[in-house]
Amino acid sequence: MSQQQDYYSALGVARNASEAEIKKAFRKLAMKHHPDRNEGNKQSEEEFKKIKEAYDILSDVEKRKMYDQFGHAGINQQGFGGGGPGVNVNFEDVFGDIGNIFGDIFGGGGRSRGRRHASGQPGAHLRYELTVSLEEAVYGATRQIKISTLAKCKTCDGSGAKKGSKPIKCSECEGAGQISVQQGFFSIQQTCPTCHGRGQVIGDACSDCHGQGRTQQTKTLSVKIPVGINVGDRIRLTGEGEAGAQGGAAGDLYVEINIEPHALFTRKGNDLYCDIPIDFTMAALGGELDVPTLEGRIKLKIPPETQTGKSFRLRGKGVKSVRDGLKGDIFCRIMVETPVRLKDTQKQLLLELREQLDKDAVDHRPQAHDWFKNVKQFFDQPKNK
């Protein structure tokens, strides 16, 4: 392998590339040129050696510093070298969980021990559905919830070991938590399959949790409902999910919000909608009435000749956004209500009013006039046989 390649060019990154950019570039190229994915392809094998050598230098702060200052001379002078069988790339650091997959797909080689990488098995994330009132969603609130979950064992304090005893060092990795699997000219570090990265195993297990470090428990949590939260929003309670096994990190609890139906308002986004019933005399003559808002009652002026379905917009009277703090609007839809249970005298007055309206040359029902006109045209048009 040539020792004079430009390591930055080999990975396709700029000289001022960040650690994350270097790792991302190596990951992409390693997946492309890995020899076991290109069996028999000598060119891919050589390319993989080059990018592995480049990553080994550029991912190490001291090696990169010497290379930037003195080039290959600085690397060789310090005895770092590059690209040989001794180069140890931690594939779990680069590929995350995919690091273990490499070992499964590409086969196992000779094993050696590496540094400790993880501690216990992490707990699962949990989901909880919480239904709140519209008022709680609008103004904010604090709610108490109860969940049944795997929590840290109180007897062994999560260690999994019997009280008075301690976990013992894993003999497979000698407490390192990782093993290195030799793959020909390079080695891959993997989580120890015996201790699962903890570096320790349970010798004398706790009788309550049977060595798991967690038991089924019910706990009460306080959930703060932020102002303006909406249906489908989630509140994350970090570390309140399942406890990890044998000291592993706890998962998170995600509280998903539902809002119960309201007697007056329907919510869409940050806007509120409500129906306002008025009698037909107010619809015809106009007037004022009190309508509800989140800030109290306000006067809504109803103009004369208002029809059912007419909507009035109250700007800035809706819900405060949980994200940007801006307020939505309230839309009031007018519903003209027909009077019921009329007395005979009242019916007579309405009959007299209808007679007067029918005799009047002015059309008092423009919508009805247009509707009847369209109906007549519909029936008068020739029918296709």
- Band (pLDDT 50/70/90 cuts) for residue 345 is very high
Mean pLDDT over 344-356 rounds to 92
- The span from the CA of 177 to the CA of 244, in Å, is 17
Query: CATH classification of 273-337, choosing from 2.60.260.20, 1.10.540.10, 1.10.3370.10, 3.40.50.2000?
Result: 2.60.260.20
Per the confidence metrics, is the pTM higher than 0.85? no
- Band (pLDDT 50/70/90 cuts) for residue 313 is very high
Write the pLDDT tens digit of every residue in 163-187.
888 888 898 898 888 888 876 666 7
Mean pLDDT over 83-97 rounds to 47
- Domain range annotation of the chain: 7-89, 126-259, 273-337, 344-377
Residue from 105, 97, 118, 5 nearest 53 by CA: 5
- Band (pLDDT 50/70/90 cuts) for residue 104 is very low
- The span from the CA of 151 to the CA of 198, in Å, is 19
Residue 220 clears pLDDT 90, i.e. is over it: yes
For residues 277 and 245, is the Cβ–Cβ distance under 8 A? no
Query: CATH classification of 7-89, choosing from 1.10.260.40, 3.40.1350.10, 3.40.50.300, 1.10.287.110?
Result: 1.10.287.110
pLDDT at position 103, please? 42
Residue 232, both tokens: 């489908």
Residue 56 clears pLDDT 80, i.e. is over it: yes
Fold match between domain 7-89 and domain 273-337: no
Residue 246 clears pLDDT 50, i.e. is over it: yes
Helix (H, G, I), strand (E, B) or coil at 287: strand
Beta bridge partners of 360: none
- The span from the CA of 209 to the CA of 217, in Å, is 12
pLDDT at position 30, please? 85
The CATH topology of domain 126-259 is Chaperone, DNAj Protein; Chain A (2.10.230)
- The span from the CA of 126 to the CA of 243, in Å, is 11
pLDDT, mean over the chain: 83
- State how beta strands 126-132 and 266-268 pair: unpaired
- The span from the CA of 154 to the CA of 327, in Å, is 47
